[in-house]
Amino acid sequence: MQSGRVVSGAGRNIGRTIGLAFAREGGDIVLVSRTAAEVRRVAEECESFGGRALPVAADVSRHGEITEVVRQALDRFGKVDVLVSVAALRPHRPFWEFSYDDWHQAFNVNLHSTFYFAKALAPSMIERRSGSIVALGGMSSVTAMRPGIGVVAASKHGLYGLIKAMAVDLGEYGVRANLVAVGNIATERHNPEWYLPGQEMRPEHQQLALRRDGHPEEVANAVLFLASEDASYITGGCLTCSGGRFPGM
């Protein structure tokens, strides 16, 4: 059983669900979120399954804070087998309307945070010749599917490129890296401009082979698979969890 897991963006929605799914399997988990109260509540939920959970409030766009998260994780649990990078920003407007600071902040969260975590964890994973890195990229990792997502598509395409490069660099040490590209997932939404009013989103559903939103638990299942030994020969790949938005992509 893998013992140490780090999940960023774990305070709510998909990140929270992934944290709970790992907790049900047993073992130790580090939950990272910018909001301390949220991540503490998730840690309490995780510990109800019998394992240990360490909630850490941190700004994942700052590499110094990520280094401290990893230090706490290794000090508390001894090792980290799995990194799941979920934290993301999804601002929605034409690229020319972004300030330089907002553009850079989106890259810091969507792309650089995964690099910060992986850089801090790679030495211990290499030493043990074992580990799995899973990043959530969204469909914007593989396509620019609508107007107004320039910074999201650019940063998430970069994330997929980083994951592929990590897979090549880490493969000889037995460490794997993969991406999950998620589609429309029924979550608490903080970017309503991405969605039509209400939960049905009929026009969106017509583009989905399964004609429905996904559930956070379905994304968590994909992540747990890639993190597990069941996926021991899968690295550098993209597992699409989109209800058939772009079949074959």
User: Is 1 within 8 Å of 27 (Cβ atoms)?
Assistant: yes
Q: Give the CATH number, domain containing residue 160.
A: 3.40.50.720
- Residue 233 CA to residue 34 CA, distance in Å, equals 34
- Residue 233 CA to residue 249 CA, distance in Å, equals 20
**What is the predicted pLDDT for the residue at 242?**
72
**Tokens 């780090």 sit on residue:** 6
Q: Give the predicted TM-score (pTM) of the model.
A: 0.89
User: Is 116 within 8 Å of 61 (Cβ atoms)?
Assistant: no
Residue 229: phi, psi to the nearest 5?
-70, -15
User: Looking at the domain assignment, is residue 247 inside a domain?
Assistant: no
**What is the predicted pLDDT for the residue at 62?**
98
Number of independent structural domains in the chain: 1
**What is the predicted pLDDT for the residue at 203?**
63
Closest CA to 25 of 225, 175, 216: 225
Closest CA to 58 of 48, 45, 71, 46: 71
Span 137-168, pLDDT tens digits: 877 766 666 777 888 889 999 999 999 999 99
Taking only the tens of pLDDT, the chain with its 249 residues reads 457 999 999 999 999 999 999 999 998 999 999 999 999 999 999 999 999 999 999 999 999 999 999 999 999 999 999 999 999 998 889 999 999 999 999 999 999 999 999 999 999 999 999 999 999 987 776 666 677 788 888 999 999 999 999 999 999 999 999 999 987 777 776 445 445 555 555 466 667 666 666 788 999 999 999 999 999 999 999 998 876 566 555
User: Looking at the domain assignment, is residue 179 inside a domain?
Assistant: yes
Q: Which residues pair with 176 in a beta bridge?
A: 132
User: Looking at the domain assignment, is residue 52 inside a domain?
Assistant: yes
Closest CA to 106 of 220, 176, 191: 191
- Residue 148 CA to residue 151 CA, distance in Å, equals 8
Span 87-106, pLDDT tens digits: 999 888 999 999 999 999 99
Residue 60's domain spans which residues? 4-241
Which amino acid is present at 43?
A
User: Looking at the domain assignment, is residue 126 inside a domain?
Assistant: yes
User: Looking at the domain assignment, is residue 36 inside a domain?
Assistant: yes
Q: With the C-alpha atoms ordered 237, 157, 16, 125, is the resulting torsion angle positive or negative? A: positive
User: Looking at the domain assignment, is residue 65 inside a domain?
Assistant: yes
User: Looking at the domain assignment, is residue 249 inside a domain?
Assistant: no
Q: Where are the alpha helices (DSSP H) in the chain?
A: 13-25, 36-47, 63-77, 100-107, 113-128, 150-170, 202-205, 216-227
CB-hemisphere CA count at 13 Å for 96? 0
Percent of the chain whose predicted confidence (pLDDT) is above 70? 84
User: Looking at the domain assignment, is residue 248 inside a domain?
Assistant: no
User: Is 31 within 8 Å of 43 (Cβ atoms)?
Assistant: yes
The set of residues, in sequence order, having a beta carbon less than 8 Å from that of 241 and lying 6+ positions away, is 180, 181, 182, 183, 214, 218, 219, 222
**What is the predicted pLDDT for the residue at 164?**
98
